Amino acid sequence: MRKLILLIVVFTVVASSLVAFLFFNQNQQGGKLIIPKVTFNYKPKSLDKYNFEELSKRVYLGSEITLEEVIVEEETYTSWFFSYLSEGKKITGMANIPKEGEKMPVILMMRGYADDEIYFTGLGTRKAAGVFAENGFITLAPDFLGFGGSDTCSADILEARFEKPLTLLNLLASVKNLPQADSDKIFFWAHSNGGQIALSVLEITKEPIPTSLWAPVTTGFPESVLQYIGELDDQGLKVKNAIDGFLIDYDPQKYSIDAYFTDITANIQLHQGLSDPLVSEEASDNFAKTMANLSKNINYYKYPGNDHNLGRDWDMVIQRDLSFFKRHL
């Protein structure tokens, strides 16, 4: 009974205070009852613009592709140091332009991880690019931000990663501005982490761009980053802390290739060395199986005794790619 009486008293006091407050405000405002207005404003977070859904909504206008200087003159093609703009930032890279031909097919080439202290333009792509150029394909291999003569990348570790698919999206949109290029005949070639970049763009654009993947990273985010942090000098502590913070504010699925495999419409050729210490046979098996289960077109080749660069059977692999690209001209 005492508890009931106490609750009634408390309720009466609170209600009386509220009525008095409203009455006072009404008199202060000339008889108008003023009820405080509360507004909730959603402020987009800085990395929202990089999620796949947001990137897929954008229109990419592209920029001019500038052939700045000759790197080397070969018998059938010229290697150029080229540049273009991505989000207002300069990106450089290596372009191979065959000497004969007018409107030629184009292969956009994405290298894997590179140490910026030993990096040079063309690292990871120039050997394969040379074969493609000898066979009538223009090749464009971007350095990416922070490499070559490109502008600096973001100081944020994860933003620097998310900038890479955007870099490729802007290059893809810029191909039409290269006079020698046939922008209706574009292909992707990618190695290692470049595979993750290529797959991201295939999912974002949903374009049927024939793509060759050499030992690609096909696991989702952030697992695709965390599985390699043990190789870093600080055992990946800085990267792990960045990801921990990211997971508090963002949905990682919106930045993860494995959440959008259904959006791939391209024909894919996949190469996997069975002695690769960086990308496992199991990972490529799982990717190939997923593609097959989704009724995607995929050719999957395995190479016993081959490492991450497929060195033992390199000639065979590159000829398979050349046949693959020519078949889809």
Residues 101-136: pLDDT tens digits?
899 999 999 999 999 999 999 999 999 999 999 999
Cβ atoms within 10 Å, residue 119: 16
**For residue 73, what are the β-bridge partners?**
78
The pTM of this model reads 0.86
Q: How far is residue 96's CA from residue 304's CA, in Å, rounded to a whole number?
A: 31
Higher-confidence residue: 3 or 236? Answer: 236
Q: What is the DSSP letter of 59?
A: -
Q: How far is residue 170's CA from residue 62's CA, in Å, rounded to a whole number?
A: 5
Q: How far is residue 170's CA from residue 84's CA, in Å, rounded to a whole number?
A: 9
Of 204, 265, 226, nearest to 52 by C-alpha is 204
> Is residue 215 helix, strand or coil?
coil
Confidence band, pLDDT 50/70/90 cuts, at residue 228: confident
Q: What whole-number percentage of the chain has pLDDT above 70?
A: 85
Half-sphere exposure of 204 (CA within 13 A, CB side): 30
Q: Which single residue is written with the structure tokens 């595979």?
A: 195
Cα dihedral 154→155→157→158 (10° resolution): -40
* Mean pLDDT of the residues in the chain: 89
Contact between 65 and 86 under an 8 Å Cβ cutoff? The reply is no
